[in-house]
Amino acid sequence: METGGSLVQAIRKPTLTPKAIIHQKFGSKASYTVEEVEEPTQNGCPGLAILQKGPCLYRCSLELPDFTVVSGSFKKKKDAEQSAAQIALEKLGINLSSDNPTAEEAWRELIARVKYIFSNEFLSALHPLSSHFKAALRRVGDLNASVPASVIAICDGKLNNLCKIINPTVESHPLLVLSYIMRAAAGLPELVVSAEGQLSIWRKDPYPPNVIESSISQQSDVAESITTTAIYIPCSPEKAVEPVILNISSTGYYLDVIGQILGLSDANMVLISRTIGKASSETRLYFAAPKSYPLDMSSDLLNAKVVPFGGPLNAKASSLCGQDIYGDSILASIGYTWKGQDIFHEDVTLQSYYRMLISKIPSGVYKLSREAILAAELPLTFTTKTNWKGSFPREILSSFCRQYRLLEPVFCVSSIPLKASSELSRSNNKPEVSESAEQEREYANENESVDVDPKLAVLGSSFTCEVKIYAKCQDLILECAPDVLYKKQNDAVQSASLKVLSWLNAYLKDTYMSLEKEKQLANVFDIKFYRQIFFKEVVKCLSVCNCQHNETLGGKEPELNGVVENDASYINIEGTDSGLCPSNGSLLCVCYSVSLVTKGELQKELLESIEEFEFEMGTGAVIPCLEAVVSQMSVGQSACFYTELPPEDLVLAAAKDLANALAFLTSPCCLEYSIILLQVTEPPEDRMEQALFNPPLSKQRVEYAVQHIKEFCATSLVDFGCGSGSLLESLLEYPTSLETIAGVDISQKSLSRAAKVLHSKLVMKSDFDAPCRSIKSAILFDGSITDFDSRLCEFDLATCLEVIEHMEEEQASLFGDIVLSSFRPRILIVSTPNYEYNVVLQKSNLTSHEDDPEEKIQSQSCKFRNHDHKFEWTREQFQHWASELAVRHKYRVEFSGVGGAVDLEPGFASQIAVFRRVFLPEDDDSLKDENSASELGKPIQELLSTTIKMRLDNRSRSMNNTTIFYRWKSI
Can you spell out the DSSP letters for 147-192? EEHHHHHHH-HHHHHHHHHH-GGGGT-TTHHHHHHHHHHHT-TTTE
DSSP H stretches of helix in 286-388: 315-321, 350-358, 362-370, 384-387
Comparing CA positions, the residue from 578, 565, 962, 968 lying closest to residue 776 is 962
* CB-based contacts of 19, cutoff 8 Å, min separation 6: 81, 82, 85
* CB-based contacts of 34, cutoff 8 Å, min separation 6: 58, 59, 60, 61, 77, 80, 81
Comparing CA positions, the residue from 598, 521, 584 lying closest to residue 557 is 521
Looking at residue 549, what is its pLDDT?
35
Comparing CA positions, the residue from 497, 278, 281 lying closest to residue 378 is 497
Element (H, E) at 893: strand 891-900
Looking at residue 445, what is its pLDDT?
34
Looking at residue 431, what is its pLDDT?
37
Element (H, E) at 572: strand 569-574
Task: Detail the DSSP E strand segments found in 204-269.
Answer: 225-233, 242-249
Distance CA 368, CA 356 (A): 10
Element (H, E) at 706: helix 697-711
Q: What is the CB neighbour count within 10 angstroms for residue 417?
A: 20
Kind of pairing between the strands at 192-193 and 200-203: antiparallel
Cβ(552)–Cβ(647) below 8 Å: yes
- Tens digit of each residue's pLDDT (9 = 90 or more) over 677-732: 999 987 766 666 666 777 888 888 988 999 989 888 899 999 999 988 889 988 88
Q: What is the mean pLDDT of each successive set of 10 residues along the chain, which is 971 residues long?
A: 35 64 83 82 41 70 90 89 91 68 86 90 85 86 86 88 84 79 89 80 87 68 76 90 90 89 87 81 88 50 45 83 86 86 88 91 94 94 86 93 88 74 46 32 35 42 88 87 85 93 89 85 90 80 41 34 42 86 85 89 87 92 93 92 90 90 87 94 71 80 90 92 88 87 88 83 61 78 86 90 92 93 93 89 48 42 74 94 94 92 87 87 45 33 33 31 37 36
> Which residues face 891 on adjacent strands?
917
> Which residues face 462 on adjacent strands?
416
* CB-based contacts of 887, cutoff 8 Å, min separation 6: none
Give the 3-state secondary structure of residue 317. Answer: helix
Measured in degrees and rounded to the nearest 5, phi and psi for residue 147 equal: -110, 125
Cβ(632)–Cβ(648) below 8 Å: no
Angle at 544 between CA 538 and CA 550, to 5 degrees: 80
Angle at 655 between CA 236 and CA 281, to 5 degrees: 70
Reported as half-sphere exposure (CB side, CA atoms, 13 A), residue 379 has a value of 24
Domain 16-90 in this protein, CATH class: alpha beta
> Which residues face 876 on adjacent strands?
none
DSSP H stretches of helix in 712-837: 726-731, 748-762, 809-818
Measured in degrees and rounded to the nearest 5, phi and psi for residue 412 equal: -105, 105
Looking at residue 82, what is its pLDDT?
92
% helix / strand / coil in the chain, to the nearest 5? 35, 20, 40
The secondary structure of 436-503 as a DSSP string is: -TTTEEEE-STTPPPP--HHHHHTT-EEEEEEEEEBTT--EEEEE-----BSSHHHHHHHHHHHHHHH
Distance CA 371, CA 350 (A): 17
> Which residues face 480 on adjacent strands?
467, 527
Q: Is 386 exposed, middle or buried (0-12, 13-18, 19+ CB in 10 A)?
A: exposed
One-letter identity of residue 668:
P
Angle at 701 between CA 695 and CA 704, to 5 degrees: 105
CATH hierarchy code of domain 580-682: 3.10.50.40
Peptide bond into 906 cis (omega under 30): yes
Looking at residue 437, what is its pLDDT?
29
Residues in the chain: 971
Distance CA 149, CA 182 (A): 7
Q: What is the CB neighbour count within 10 angstroms for residue 49?
A: 11
End-to-end alpha-carbon separation of the chain, Å?
Answer: 52
Cβ(254)–Cβ(246) below 8 Å: yes
Looking at residue 749, what is its pLDDT?
82
CA dihedral 857, 858, 863, 864 (to 10 degrees): 60
* Residue ranges of the chain that CATH labels 3.40.50.150: 684-843+865-915
Looking at residue 469, what is its pLDDT?
93
Measured in degrees and rounded to the nearest 5, phi and psi for residue 436 equal: -65, 135
- Tens digit of each residue's pLDDT (9 = 90 or more) over 55-80: 678 999 999 988 899 998 898 888 99
Looking at residue 769, what is its pLDDT?
55
Distance CA 517, CA 559 (A): 11
* Residue ranges of the chain that CATH labels 3.10.50.40: 580-682
Looking at residue 220, what is its pLDDT?
52
Cβ(96)–Cβ(21) below 8 Å: yes
Cβ(331)–Cβ(346) below 8 Å: no
Distance CA 153, CA 159 (A): 7
How far is residue 456 from each of residues 44, 370, 420, measured CA to CA in Å? 10, 36, 12
pTM for the whole structure: 0.67
Choose which CATH entry (3.40.50.720, 3.40.50.150, 3.90.1150.10, 3.40.718.10) describes domain 684-843+865-915. 3.40.50.150
Is domain 378-414+459-544 given the CATH code 3.30.160.20 in the classification?
yes
